[in-house]
Chains A and B, each alone.
Chain A
């Protein structure tokens, strides 16, 4: 079962940056919520500049490259920011604005603050929430000592 997008996702003006300030704020908050829900549903931790998920979008990015001269990335059809049904996609400038808004609200963080091409880490739970979740899980179910690696790769991982 795939992710069910909200009805606003099929509304064409949702993909155009609105000029009315209140509408724009609401539009950005809708987008942030949509990204969080989408990433949570699909277990996506890192989102590229063009809205693609995972490591595939970052294959072409040199991890050693620290130059950040251009934040432009072409939005593809697989991106969350493209709605093929109504043939609309967000402009990269607006995507950057949404990302910055997410970071300011501590819903995301640059993978590499010096190079935005690496994308963002999406916190569909905040770090505090994660800490609480891990603590509860450890308190409830941990009977033996586990390394960090084993915790991540174990059967009963959190994510």
Chain B
């Protein structure tokens, strides 16, 4: 039986990019706050068929829904996002009988003040006195409320403003006519043309739409929601989130908090709060403000009475002088950094010369060596300091880590139930996978890293919050699910000495295996073959694991190589020669000798 389906697109929801681990990609200003799993989406009271099971991430800017995919490694990773600015109100609906608890999202019917929308709503005009480019609201340009120049305070010419307004409207109309008819063309007209918001595509099956999704998804397009029943036009502003694994109440509290925070951030960005406050960092680079390196002494030096906006020529002069001072401060700081860099490079060049002389004369003078070492150590510290100054990206990452850790911690606290703890492990696994990919850990570590090393690196990166070894192990076990190119292997590291029966009773059995994560291309069989090829070419000669590793054909991780050698020895393919210098591995001639005799 074929179910007649309906589909629609909503302008509120957008596709969201996900990381390799299936987590949402957050901007530098975005912080992950909470996560819950097994969430279903509803439009009004109707189920959205293709989004009935997924993870819901809450950040300080967006709600991100990541649909469940049975095979994440193969399927395209893409999620849906809803900007918190669209949410006008939220309501909590407790579960009853078989009905799961839900959160009702009532979306705004007035155009939300998002950055891209303000572009359409604002008008740019140039001051006739100071030629400063100013912005004003389209609604503002009346005779009674004339905008003034932000710099010199001179009022705008109303007639000119009206002309600009008409031109802008014509341009925006022509743009919308060219655009996709399924998507609302102009947000200004949203309230008048509400019917345009929801385009129903009748007669299409949900399954076919699913296929379309996986094949033809681009981030600029809008997600398609499939439904089995037709919804009313009034439901288009009401979305419901159904929490089948519980945790709705906590999510609701978090969402309320995030909405409050998002509201404040929007107001702050629109200068509705702290109006007139000087924003040094934003003036430098509005696009990447929080990545800018601002020396700590800048704020203290810029001790001007500039928090008030000053109008007129005097204000213009003050602001110009303020900007000049600001720019000169930055220039000075940059020049100082350059000077430091130059000094350090001179030091390094000097060290290079010293070493060259030492090597050429082949006479090691203790005094010279001492000086060079001292110079080297000083340079190293200075370079480290300089590196820290220049590399502000690290501090951004640390801040992001803090928030991801916070959300993880919250998951752990709330995850008393089994479902919660599995979600915690799953999310930890995703974070771990992102960490491995971002830091290129597998590539840097010769294709293999032990779980212990990864555990230390991960905990170090996460700072004060430590993951327990057990949870970490559970997380790395599920890494393979996210990427089949990674595999968890167990390296047998037990000593080659046999424990006698008598002594075995006295010594408790200890786990002598070691977990490691490596690329799936790192195959024990291929390593074994290479080892045997090497040994075939020589007779009565053996090599240690390190010597094997040094050979071109066997440039692999030492631990894995050692593990393979031990396995081959246990299988009787190789035999071992143990001395105080270490163990050397030979082809098993002992068995062959029996055949000769």
Residues from chain B with a CB closer than 8 A to the CB of A11 are 540, 586, 589-590, 593
A19–B570 contact, CB under 8 A? yes
Selected interface stretch from B474-482, B554-562, B574-582: B574-582
The answer for the CA separation of A154 and B571 in the assembled complex, in Å, is 54
B590–A16 contact, CB under 8 A? no
B569–A20 contact, CB under 8 A? yes
The answer for the CA separation of A23 and B587 in the assembled complex, in Å, is 12
Q: Known contacts A12-B584, A12-B586, A13-B575; decide if A19 and B569 are in contact (CB<8 Å).
A: yes
Instruction: Give 1 or 0 for each of A1-15: 1 = CB within 8 Å of chain B CB.
Output: 000001110111111
Chain B residues in the interface with A (C-beta under 8 A): 496-498, 540, 542, 569-572, 575-579, 584, 586, 588-591, 593-594, 597
B577–A23 contact, CB under 8 A? no
1-59 of chain A: CB within 8 A of chain B: 6-8, 10-20, 22-23, 26-27, 29-30, 33
A12–B591 contact, CB under 8 A? no
Residues from chain A with a CB closer than 8 A to the CB of B570 are 19-20
The answer for the CA separation of A88 and B588 in the assembled complex, in Å, is 17
Residues from chain A with a CB closer than 8 A to the CB of B569 are 19-20
A13–B594 contact, CB under 8 A? no
B577–A8 contact, CB under 8 A? no
A23–B575 contact, CB under 8 A? yes
The answer for the CA separation of A12 and B571 in the assembled complex, in Å, is 19
A13–B591 contact, CB under 8 A? no
Residues from chain A with a CB closer than 8 A to the CB of B578 are 16
A23–B586 contact, CB under 8 A? no
B542–A20 contact, CB under 8 A? no
Residues from chain A with a CB closer than 8 A to the CB of B542 are 12-13
Q: Known contacts A12-B584, A13-B575; decide if A19 and B590 are in contact (CB<8 Å).
A: no
The answer for the CA separation of A11 and B588 in the assembled complex, in Å, is 10
Set B496, B540, B591: member contacting A19, Cβ < 8 A: B496
> Which residue of chain B lies nearest to A8 when distances are taken between CB atoms in the complex?
B593
How many residues of A are in contact with the other chain, CB < 8 A? 22
> Which residue of chain B lies nearest to A12 when distances are taken between CB atoms in the complex?
B577
B589–A8 contact, CB under 8 A? yes
Report the minimum CB–CB distance from B575 to chain A (whole Å): 4
Residues from chain B with a CB closer than 8 A to the CB of A16 are 575-578
Q: Known contacts A15-B577, A16-B576, A18-B576; decide if A26 and B586 are in contact (CB<8 Å).
A: no
Q: Known contacts A13-B586, A16-B577, A30-B590; decide if A23 and B572 are in contact (CB<8 Å).
A: yes
The answer for the CA separation of A154 and B576 in the assembled complex, in Å, is 49
Report the minimum CB–CB distance from B512 to chain A (whole Å): 14
Residues from chain B with a CB closer than 8 A to the CB of A88 are 577, 579
The answer for the CA separation of A28 and B6 in the assembled complex, in Å, is 81
Report the minimum CB–CB distance from B337 to chain A (whole Å): 60
B590–A14 contact, CB under 8 A? yes
Residues from chain A with a CB closer than 8 A to the CB of B575 are 13, 16, 18, 20, 23
Q: Known contacts A16-B577, A19-B576; decide if A26 and B591 are in contact (CB<8 Å).
A: yes
> Which residue of chain A lies nearest to B494 when distances are taken between CB atoms in the complex?
A19
Q: A18-B576, A20-B570 are in contact. List 19 more A-B contacts (CB 8 A).
A: A7-B593, A10-B540, A12-B542, A12-B577, A13-B577, A13-B589, A16-B575, A16-B576, A16-B578, A19-B496, A19-B569, A20-B575, A22-B591, A23-B588, A23-B591, A26-B590, A26-B591, A26-B593, A27-B590
Residues from chain B with a CB closer than 8 A to the CB of A17 are 498
The 9 nearest A-B residue pairs measured at CB: A20-B572, A12-B577, A13-B575, A13-B577, A8-B593, A16-B578, A26-B594, A23-B572, A13-B586
Set A8, A10, A14, A22: member contacting B572, Cβ < 8 A: A22
Residues from chain B with a CB closer than 8 A to the CB of A29 are 594
Report the minimum CB–CB distance from A51 to chain B (whole Å): 19
The answer for the CA separation of A14 and B594 in the assembled complex, in Å, is 13
Report the minimum CB–CB distance from A112 to chain B (whole Å): 23
Instruction: List 26 contacting pairs A-B, 8 Å CB cutoff, sorted by A.
Output: A6-B593, A7-B593, A8-B590, A10-B540, A11-B540, A11-B589, A11-B590, A12-B584, A13-B575, A13-B589, A13-B590, A16-B575, A16-B578, A17-B498, A19-B496, A19-B497, A19-B569, A20-B572, A23-B575, A23-B591, A27-B590, A29-B594, A30-B590, A30-B593, A88-B577, A88-B579
The answer for the CA separation of A26 and B579 in the assembled complex, in Å, is 21
Residues from chain B with a CB closer than 8 A to the CB of A7 are 593
The answer for the CA separation of A6 and B572 in the assembled complex, in Å, is 22
The answer for the CA separation of A55 and B425 in the assembled complex, in Å, is 71
The answer for the CA separation of A14 and B593 in the assembled complex, in Å, is 11
The answer for the CA separation of A19 and B500 in the assembled complex, in Å, is 12
> Which residue of chain A lies nearest to B593 when distances are taken between CB atoms in the complex?
A8
Report the minimum CB–CB distance from B366 to chain A (whole Å): 38
Residues from chain A with a CB closer than 8 A to the CB of B590 are 8, 11, 13-14, 18, 23, 26-27, 30
The answer for the CA separation of A141 and B485 in the assembled complex, in Å, is 83
